[in-house]
Each structure stands twice: as C-alpha cells, then as structure tokens.
Structure 1
Amino acid sequence: MNQTATKTPKTSENPHTAFPFATGSQPGYRPDEVDAFLARARSTYEGREEPGAGGITAAEVRRTAFRVKRKGYAARYVDAAMDRLEEVFFERERRAKIRAEGEDAWWAETRQLLSEVRGRLQRPRGKRFRVRGLLATGYRRSQVDAFLDRISEMFESREMMKPAEVRDVVFHTQLRGYDEEQVDALLDAVVDLILATR
C-alpha cells in the first residue's frame, strides 16, 4: 500500500525556541537575535535579572523588532510567542506593583491612564496629535484617526480588542502626518489598558 509522507516544517535546533524556519523566498527573523532576546527574557523570568536593570519588561517586549534574513525563523510563530511573552511580563509587573503599592493604587493609575487616553481620542479628527513639519513625514492622519475611532468604540462597548490588533497595526506615511512617537505612545497605553482589564 502506498503511503504519502507528511513533511513537517524544519525547526530550530535550539530546544528553548524550536521555531519553524521560513520557507521559500519568505524572509524570517534572524535566529541569533531571537535566541538572544529570549535568553534575556528567560533570565529575567527566572529572577536572574531585574526588569529595567538589564532585565526585560513588558514594554520592551512590545517594542522589540528583529532584523530579517532568508531562512530565518518564521515570523508568525515568533510574533505569537512575543505576544504571549508580553502578556506574561505585564501580569508579573502588575502583581509586583499591587504587592508594593496596593490594588487601589493600581486601579487609580489605570483609571488615570484611561482618562488621558480618552482625552486624546475626544480631540477633533486631524488634530489628535502633533503634526510634523512642512517637509517631514509622519503617520497618515486619516488612517490613524480611523483606527482611533475603532478604539473609542471599543471603550464605549467594553468589547475589548485583542492586544495584537493594536500592536500590529500599520499606518502609511504622508507629508505633515502625525508625529509617530506620540501615536506609538498612545497605542502602547491602549495595549496596557486592554491587558489591565482582562
């Protein structure tokens, strides 16, 4: 009887990661960078490094970007692992803060962050962030405003988006677009609020 063999994706030989490699012409993340970052994350998680003093924080996980190369780690698997890693570190940091300052202080800080985010969302479209100079590019204002409208609806309906929907959003650029740092800071705050209310 003829049997068809099922080909499984080739994975890293590093037992701590074992991510499949990108196939064909699809680029992947550089294994050395991914492995080095995850080694730091593991060291922080196991208590060998303190967050913010050489150790990893949830915010750093969120902002980390890996360079790409042919036959690197398949991006979707690494991205999914990074999403989970951020949530693990966020929860650890939340618990540590509650132990140190109390749950009331944690929720007071969360409510203050929500108030600041809503204040930004309530600004008129086209004026929610600083606009770049005459010959400078920034995020396309119409795209950012449309996404922020979705975020406003999320807070009103209390039906939370997935953190990855906010983390992975991509905006085109335009002359005199929105200041990227301000937009990114707001999106970071939105992710924090989503994670805080889970």
Structure 2
Amino acid sequence: MAIDVRRQIPAAFERVERNKYGYNAKQVDQFFQRARVSFEDPAEARVKTGSSDVRGVSFDPVKGGYDAAVVDAALDRLEDAFARRERDELIEAQGEEAWLRQIGKLSGVLRARLHRPAGQRFRRPEKKRVRSYDVADVDALCDRLIGYLEQDQPLSVDSVRRAVFGAAKGPDGYDEAQVDAFLDRVVELMAAID
C-alpha cells in the first residue's frame, strides 16, 4: 500500500501569537523538507530519515513560532508513516517471520522492565536536586502497558507519546532520561504493531 506523505505534512503550520513561544519555523520547515525527500525518494536523500529520527527531533522555542501542538501532531502522523514503511520493507526483504522476531525481541526487552516490582522499574537519580518523574505516575503507565501487551487492553500510541508525569526531586522519583528512552522504545513497538 502506497502512503502519500504529503497528507502527513501540511504545507504550512499555524503560528502562535507573537508574544508566545512556538517551534522555530525554519528548523521545522527544514526537517519536514528533509523527511519528505527521504520518504518520497530515499535514493535522493542526503540524510536518511526514519521513524526514530522523527520521534527524536526537537526544535528551539521562539516567540511567534509554529504552534507546537500542531507540529507535534504532524510529527506523530509522519512517524507512523515511516514506521509502516519500515515494517513493510522488512517484511518484503526478509519475510514476515523476521518482522515477528524483531517485534518479539523488542517486546521481551520491554516486558522484562515492566515486570519489575512497582517502585523499582527505573533507576533513581543520585543527586537530590535533579528533576525526576513521579514514581506512581510512571508505574501507572507501566501497568497500562502490561495490559496492552499481555491482555490486549486498548491503549493508543499517542497516549504513550503524550504521557505526562508529576514532578519529583532526585531519588524521590525515577530518572527522566531512562524513562524517556524506555518510552521511545515502547512507541517504536506500538507503531510497528499498529
């Protein structure tokens, strides 16, 4: 099935008011142009773009920039399109069994962490003043992920992408970088499955 990437990327994004912060328009436009070329004609792309690149991109905040919520929604659609293409290319090149093995391996790694005891799923920062995520909030999402992966309970990839956790300080919470990296892998798995 062919995917029309032009439907995933609007011609122009809405801007926020001049006194409010949004994403740097030039950076956004450059990234989406690179992504478009990479998606439509990968052989012509100077820099290959994939679903992980879309998931990890960030833009500087500037006054009067593009509306972050609108850009983020377009990024989500674009990431899903790249993930579908990557899945289809893997299946075409190596067969469905290779894709299932890849999904199974990633799922196993994620489940191992999810089945750790509540309050012990992620490391705690050693420094007392560093920001961290509320343990109960993160554990609640982990429980929902177990339900999704093992009991076929509904959970959208966007709810994981947009998860918000309460703030904690230092060892009272989970290390933000480790939780974020884990959730990136969860999104990668969910995008490949759905």
**Structure-1-length-normalised TM-score:** 0.82
Counterpart of 1:9 in structure 2 is none
Counterpart of 1:12 in structure 2 is none
Give me the whole-angstrom Cα distance separating, in 1, the residues matched to 2:147 and 2:136. 17
The 8 Å contact of residues 161 and 194 in structure 1, kept in 2 or not, is answered as no
Give me the whole-angstrom Cα distance separating, in 2, the residues matched to 1:188 and 1:148. 13
Considering Cα pairs closer than 8 Å and 6+ residues apart, tell me whether 1 or 2 has the greater RCO: 2
Give me the whole-angstrom Cα distance separating, in 1, the residues matched to 2:34 and 2:146. 36
Counterpart of 1:34 in structure 2 is 28
Q: Which runs of 5+ in 1 are unaligned?
A: 1-14
**Deviation by residue 1:27-82 (Cα, 9 ceiling, x = unmatched):** 2211101001001101211224588x721110111111212222211222111111
Tell me the matched-pair count. 183
1:150 aligns with 2:174: no
The counterpart of 1:175, out of the listed 149, 170, 186, is 170
**Deviation by residue 1:72-105 (Cα, 9 ceiling, x = unmatched):** 1122211111110000111111112222222101
| Structure with greater helix share of residues | 2
Counterpart of 1:197 in structure 2 is 193
Pairwise CA RMSD: 2.3
Q: Which runs of 5+ in 2 are unaligned?
A: 1-8
Give me the whole-angstrom Cα distance separating, in 2, the residues matched to 1:152 and 1:50. 41
**Runs of at least 4 residues of structure 1 off by over 4 A?**
48-51
Please report how far the alpha carbon of residue 112 of structure 1 lies from its aligned counterpart in structure 2 after TM superposition. Answer: 1.7
Q: Secondary structure at the match of 2:62?
A: strand
**Structure-2-length-normalised TM-score:** 0.83
Larger Rg: 1
Give me the whole-angstrom Cα distance separating, in 1, the residues matched to 2:151 and 2:84. 24
Structure-to-structure mapping, 1:104-183, within 5 angstroms: 104-135=97-128, 137=130, 138-171=132-165, 172-176=167-171, 177-183=173-179
Percent of pairs identical after alignment?
39
Counterpart of 1:62 in structure 2 is 55
